[in-house]
Amino acid sequence: MKTILRKMGDWLEDRTGLMAAIRPILNHLVPPGAKWAYVFGSATLFCFILQVVTGVGLALLYQPSSDAAYQSLQFITDQAVFGRVLRGIHFFGASGMVLFVGVHMIRVYIMAAYKYPREMNWLTGVLLLFLTIIMGFTGQLLRWDANGVWSSVVAAQNLGRIPLIGTTLARLLLGGDTIGGQSLSRFFAYHVFLFPALIFALVGLHLFLVIRNGISEPPKAGRPVDPKTYRAWYETMLKREGVPFWPNAAWRDALFGSLVILTIVGLAVVVGPPALTQPPDPSIVDTSPEPDWYMLPIFALFALVPPKTESYLIFFGPVLLVLALFALPFLSNRGERSPIRRPWAVFGVICVVIFVGALLVIGEIEPWSPRFDTKSVATLVSYQNPQLKRGAMLFYKKGCQYCHMVHGEGGLRGPNLSDIGRNWTANQLTVQIVNGGGNMPAYGGSLDKDELRDIVAFLSAQK
């Protein structure tokens, strides 16, 4: 038996030469220090392969049609065999891909692996980063629930802010003047054919460049990159102390990648995919669109920047970001690579991580959004004084409580008014309520005298 298999293998190798082509790639020498810090790129790749495989699985069950997609999502989630787990893996796989593409990028930046001769590795990596984010976003649209519909409107509005061609691009994205039958077909084509094809091509190029330029050796302080001598030095170093990629380095990739996939499957089974929101009917307005976690920092940023600067942020922000990332390996393609000698680089990374992390946290809290589901204070506190009771009910009914908190109930948009009566006089309160200001609507036109008096009395009692 063994000999037959061996003979078949030999025949196949003789006719195809596959192993002869692959073996040098598997066995190519890598720097001996390339250890655990180097597993994140391959983890991203494993996540991508996971997405392709589970994506095919989902496509077997999904209806890419505006009128049926939502029902097919319900079917996948509730009825299809292992459908819920499949959706879960695809969601957590996307999350993992976004996470590891970020970690991989940070690792490459901190170790300055983008310097000579690996500028193109960095550039293709930047493109893959953006493609990953685009895939995450378009994937979320394919859920085609209220969130998917409104997220695509938000995306169209973002494109609309691009000067001159904004409206045209927005219409192009939606596939027409409004959301409709054409919209989902487009998102499906982008998410399933166009962008994955680009990712395949760029991953191929990215990996080819990794082989061609070699895995960057772990940096050492006082060993700067000099483009004149680097390649010769790297070759000599590999010959002297290099180890074959397979199996000396690859086992870590395989181990970490397997753990990542098992974790993703575990999360899919235990936590499950994100729940569907309302059906994709654009005339249902009682919905609170909110993107998946990886888009939340951008969602939060749009709420927090001064509105006057927003058009500039939406248009110039991405343009400058892409230019800066592209320019990086050309502005700094030689010199020290060690993070110890590049403290500002490390500081910059820490700042970016804190910035994005803070936006993520605050995007999760959404303090800027009215709390439509808040409960009236009048249901929690029984007021003896009828005026206070009326005031408490008006405070809720007139929407004050959507943005202001009293006794732990209410929104976070405006100041907490739990002890407003201590520092503000009735007169000051009246003026503020009637005229608004400081990002508060003026209520002068919508409250009668008695209502105003009751609300002021209620607030004055908050001490």
Segment 269-288, which members bind other proteins (CB under 8 A)?
279-288
- Closer residue to other proteins (CB): 383 or 402: 402
Nearest to 27 by CA among 176, 211, 173: 211
Burial of residue 365 (number of CB atoms within 10 Å: 0-12, 13-18, 19+): exposed
d(CA 40, CA 109): 13
Closer to other proteins by CB, 233 or 402: give it.
402
Residues in binding contact with other proteins, number by CB under 8 A:
72
For other proteins, give the closer residue by CB, 97 or 459: 459
Q: Does 402 bind other proteins (CB under 8 A)?
A: yes
Grouping H, G, I as helix, E, B as strand and the rest as coil, residue 227 is: coil
Nearest CA-CA partner of 158 in 283, 281, 327, 291: 291
Query: Does position 445 bind other proteins by CB under 8 A?
Result: yes
Q: How many CB atoms lie within 10 A of CB 282?
A: 15
Write down the least CB distance from residue 95 to other proteins, Å.
Answer: 22
Alpha carbons 176 and 174: distance in angstroms, whole number: 5
DSSP SS3 for 163: coil
Q: Is 68 in the site for other proteins (CB under 8 A)?
A: yes
Q: Which range in 39-47, 108-116, 343-351, 433-441 contacts other proteins by CB under 8 A?
A: 433-441
Q: Interaction with other proteins in 163-192: which residues (CB under 8 A)?
A: 163, 166-168, 170-172, 174-184
* End-to-end CA, the chain: 89
**By CB under 8 A, residue 237 contacts other proteins:** no
Q: How far is the CB of 195 from other proteins (least distance, A)?
A: 14
- 163 versus 408: smaller Cβ distance to other proteins: 163
- In the complex with other proteins, the residue whose CB is nearer, 287 or 430, is 287
- Answer yes or no whether residue 373 interacts with other proteins by CB under 8 A: no
Q: Residue 334 or residue 398: which is nearer to other proteins going by CB?
A: 398
CB 412 within 8 Å of CB 401 = no
Q: Strands 243-244 and 405-406, how do they pair?
A: unpaired
What mask of x and - would describe binding to other proteins in positions 96 to 135, judged by CB under 8 A? ----------------------------------------
DSSP β-bridge partners for residue 406: 409
User: Do 451 and 421 touch, CB atoms closer than 8 A?
Assistant: no
Pick out residues in 297-316 that bind other proteins (CB under 8 A): 299, 302-303, 307-308, 310-311, 314-315
CB burial of residue 379 (10 Å; 0-12, 13-18, 19+): exposed
- Kindly list the distances between the CA atom of residue 188 and the CA atoms of 9, 85, 94, 179, 200, in Å, as whole numbers in the listed order: 41, 21, 16, 14, 17
Amino acid identity, position 83: G
Interactions with other proteins, residue window 131-170 (CB under 8 A)? 149-150, 153-154, 156-158, 160-163, 166-168, 170
Check binding of 441 to other proteins (CB under 8 A).
yes
Q: Which residue has 């000698």 as its token pair?
A: 341
Shortest Cβ 183–other proteins spacing (Å) = 7
> Which of residues 168 and 428 has its CB atom nearest to other proteins in the complex?
168
The yes or no reply on residue 318 touching other proteins (CB under 8 A) is: no
Nearer to other proteins, 167 or 385 (CB): 167
